[in-house]
Amino acid sequence: MAALQLEPLFTSSIFCKTFSTSNVTVEVAGNLIRVIWNEELSKQVNTAEEDLFIEVRKKKKLPILEKKVSHLLSTEFHLDADGPIQLRLIKKKRYQLHLSTSFHYTPKVVLISENERRHHLKWMDIDWEHIQREVEISSGLDWEKDIDIFLHVIRWPEPSTGLKEQEWLHTGLSNHATVLGALKEVSLIIAPKTDIEKTALPNHQITKSPNHQILKTLFRLVFKLPEVVRELAFLDFKIGPSFPFMELKREIWEGDTIQLRAWWNIPDECWKKVKKDLLAPKGLDWKDIDICIQLNQLEPHPILQSTNWLFTDIQDGSAYQAALIIRPKKESKKDLSPAVITSNIAGVPAKPDQIVLLPIDEGRIFTYWHLDRERLAKRLDALSGGDPGKVCTYIRVFHDWAGSLHHHMDVEVHPGFSDNWYLPTAPDRVYRVQLVAISDQGKIESLTDVSNPAQTIRVSPGNNPVSYKEVDLKIEHPTQLELKSVLGSAKHSIGLELLHLHAHLPYFRRRVVYGVSGIWQPMGFPEEWFHEAIRETYVPLILTFERLKSEGVDFRISMDISPTLTNMMRCPLLQEEFLKYIEAHISLARAETDRTGREAHRYHETAWMHLNRFLEVRDCFMRYNGDLTKALKKLQNEGYIEISTCGATHAFLPFFTAFPESVRGQIQTAVLDYRATFGRDPMGIWLPECAYVPGIENFLEEAGLHYFFTETHAVLHADSPAAFGTHAPAYLKGSNVAAFARDPETGRQVWSGEEGYPGDPDYLEFHIRGGPLKYNRITSRSSDYKEPYVREWALEKAAKHAQHFVESRNFRFQYIKNWFWKKPLVVAMYDAELFGHHWYEGTDFLYYLLKKLYYNQNETELITPSAYLARYPRNQEVFITPSSWGDKGTFDRWIYGSVSWMYKHSHEAIRELGAMASDLKTNRQDDQLAKRLVSQAAREVLQSMNSDIPFVISNGHFVDRMKEFFFEDLERFWILANLYRNGGDRPELTACRLQRLEMENPIFPEIDPCAFAR
């Protein structure tokens, strides 16, 4: 199909420009605005008394946006305005409260603002007997019969909330009230009952105010708006007008189909021009025409009031362009020229006929295929002589042995009805598959080439001879310094312990939605995961390590941090969001300390525990200017922790080895990002989900990585018996890369919900809260009945469990110390979020554990992977089996039927990215715009490879939201692919569209697009 060759009345445009002064920069991309200022401006704000604000005005009118930006160096927002805009950075005094009272002594009034629109007011120390006598004498009314007490609330006008500007709340002799809205003034008033009519509204809201005297005002609380102290910076910038815009983009669905969606925005001024230039000369009005959308030369469709249109059943291997056209109703086949607007050209690359094979476990493999329907029909028709009943199609399964293919079995399938299949297999075999058609005469037609290989899992140790090799890796890392301890464990130890924490979260760069009602509770949505992990795990871990340092305790921890997590830690938008999030929790906890003090005394100490923890977390976060990678980098440079990397976006690598450029891109991007974050090269890597298949080690070695972590059975079921079991790493044959296998006993002790420490009855209950915060202890694993949490009991248990853990390792080492010719190693691997998030006392356990290892024993010595390989360069070499640390140690969780469709879409994008990167590398190396386009396209493809999305869907959680994230990544990729292929004729529009996509998804500032070349 040829693209439309139309000269439209309008062309798509986006306004983008950067405006700068010496200390402020504003980047504009459409309606997305990013403001960056230098640190010197922030230092001029005394945050103990003042706040920093951004104020945006259109000309000299009232502000159209005002935003608090204290402790930040940048922010971004959407602004639906155009023309000249004025931006000011100003510092203001903090909100001030003015209390007035006619008492001879001042009552105690406490205001706790849960957020800007939900407030808890409490008043105490009021001498009600004296007040009663005073009011009865002055008014002549009976206190019990004629008088009542009300809270008079005056608010700043906010129509969006639905709250009245004035309201009377009946309080009686209560000493507290919850008040909603942006408050201007609150008064506690005594008035005659007859003057105020109550309604049945919540909180005894009053519809009528007193119609004569107020008997007494007990106190008045006036909320004084923050005063401007000084303007720190000023900048004039411009937002372009609302340009006409039309875009045609690929839309991803679950099935193996292609859809295109056109969307457009045509301002009213442009429609006026359409009427003037196209309709009026023909004597037409709007009622005489249809506005239609046309894709290439296909039949146009009237769009009515739509602003987007979906085209289905799109054929691959073609370029498409959409146009909005005017078609007179009386002459339905004759369009008015020119078109109103045309879209970009959207190319849909031809999909090859192919079959792809993915491993699952010891007894299954998964395959999917794509066959062009027209080509398939012609080939089957030629093979059958026009009689479809004479041809059957099969998946032909081969054993791949020593480079030769041996026919194993055929499985009949119908490519017209299915495009994937789960195949039964035998353990420890390498398989390949091919789609073939076989006629009744025995003639065979290959419908695809032979697939990539897939190896099934070995279920028992092999019988190859045990062999060793020595590798001089020349590894240098700060943690190789001798470990200090009171009893000299470095000199006297009989065993080594490698304690490793896996730190990862998927990259979600979105703001938390708090709503406008003023009522918000943490809900655990994906947008909150990062903030929740920072609050519950990563800051508490840093505080634990810093506490040990300050107490003179030497320790060694191994830790990997995924590049997605470090990018979120360094992301200014998420730093801004976390400050809002933790302030919301502090306010919530303050409100809870007040509520539990009145209503739930048994939870009161726990409420204070949460409040103090939140304050500690905020202080630590601000101490590192919101970037926690600085704290971790410092700990590594001081020799306390060794940080390894992870796959760039935590991709399940065994499902991508058919496309080597994608695995290489994952690993090399991770290494580049680690170098930019921590200022050194990583020594090793955590394979996402510990998922390994043979060949991955080659990509690791190419990237300069020396080790990775794996599941227990990966080494125990190697091709030869594991001479050390899991008590030493093993080199992978054919490489110098070592694999550290997980110790199962330490996993059960710490991680198991049934027999592990976190299930102790005295620990904080994770699931059943008892309020907006967690208040209960586990009490019983088999009952929903929960008792109040007692912090002292929990700390005592954490110390006891730490002692038990130490003694268990020492007993184990005593038992096996003479089995080997070198000190046995225990690799205790855990998800970092176990400590603090799933197990609140987990960081306390770590504190006591590391302290006891330092003070109380000398049989167990802490060590890191680099230190071990430097100390023991001689290790066994093996071929380990495919494995993961998922359920049953297999891959099935990531290839359930609910998610298996994802991989064909990711693989298709990877193929196109590889072609783009190869073209860039060969033909356009000096084209900076092309390099940025391929770099951003690589970011989107990397994110579509994220293993967390299929895992969460497989568990039945946030299914629609996870699919939305996946679809968005790939749809943005195809936009970028089209800009790369077809955007050269309008480079300014391409650059602006790219800038917007870069601002929206700025992950991996350091990325090499050529790493994805084929």
Instruction: Write out the catalytic residue numbers.
Output: 689, 831
The helix (H) or strand (E) run that includes residue 974 is helix 959-982
List, in sequence order, the alpha helices (H) in 275-344.
none
Distance CA 834, CA 953 (A): 21
Start-to-end Cα distance in the chain: 29
77 CB contacts (<8 Å, ≥6 apart)? 32, 33, 65, 67
Tell me the three state secondary structure of residue 154. Answer: strand
Q: For strand 825-831 and strand 495-503, is the pairing parallel, antiparallel, or unpaired?
A: parallel
User: Which residues lie across from 411 on neighbouring strands?
Assistant: 395
Structure tokens, 522: 């943490």
The answer to whether 320 touches 1, Cβ cutoff 8 Å, is yes
335-340, long-range: CB < 8 A, 24+ apart? 335/292, 335/300, 336/278, 336/279, 336/282, 336/289, 337/6, 338/6, 338/7, 338/8, 338/9, 339/4, 339/6, 339/7, 339/8, 339/9, 340/8, 340/9, 340/10, 340/266, 340/270, 340/274, 340/278, 340/291
Structure tokens, 386: 């026009």
**Angle CA(271)–CA(276)–CA(282) in degrees, nearest 5?**
115
The answer to whether 615 touches 586, Cβ cutoff 8 Å, is yes
Structure tokens, 849: 């554990």
Structure tokens, 916: 């783009």
Edge-to-edge strand ranges of the sheet holding 245-251? 245-251, 259-265, 308-311
The answer to whether 873 touches 731, Cβ cutoff 8 Å, is no
Please report how many Cα atoms fall inside a 13 Å half-sphere around the Cα of residue 122, on the Cβ side: 14
The helix (H) or strand (E) run that includes residue 619 is helix 604-623
Buried b (16+ CB within 10 A) or exposed e, 898-925: ebbbbbbbbbbbbbbbbbbbbebbeebe
The phi and psi torsions of 34 (rounded to 5 degrees) equal -120, 130
Instruction: Tell me the CA distances in angstroms from 223 to 111, 185, 1012, one per residue in order.
Output: 11, 6, 58
How many CB atoms are closer than 10 A to CB 638?
13
Tell me the three state secondary structure of residue 86. Answer: strand
List, in sequence order, the alpha helices (H) in 15-142.
39-43, 128-139
The phi and psi torsions of 740 (rounded to 5 degrees) equal -100, 120
Distance CA 515, CA 881 (A): 50
Structure tokens, 417: 């009805």
Distance CA 740, CA 690 (A): 11
The helix (H) or strand (E) run that includes residue 292 is strand 289-295
Instruction: Tell me the CA distances in angstroms from 638 to 34, 255, 641, one per residue in order.
Output: 36, 52, 8
129 CB contacts (<8 Å, ≥6 apart)? none
Please return the burial class of 211, using the count of CB atoms within 10 Å of its CB with bins 0-12, 13-18 and 19+: exposed
How many CB atoms are closer than 10 A to CB 472?
9
Peptide bond into 427 cis (omega under 30): no
Distance of CA 106 to the CA centre of its chain: 50
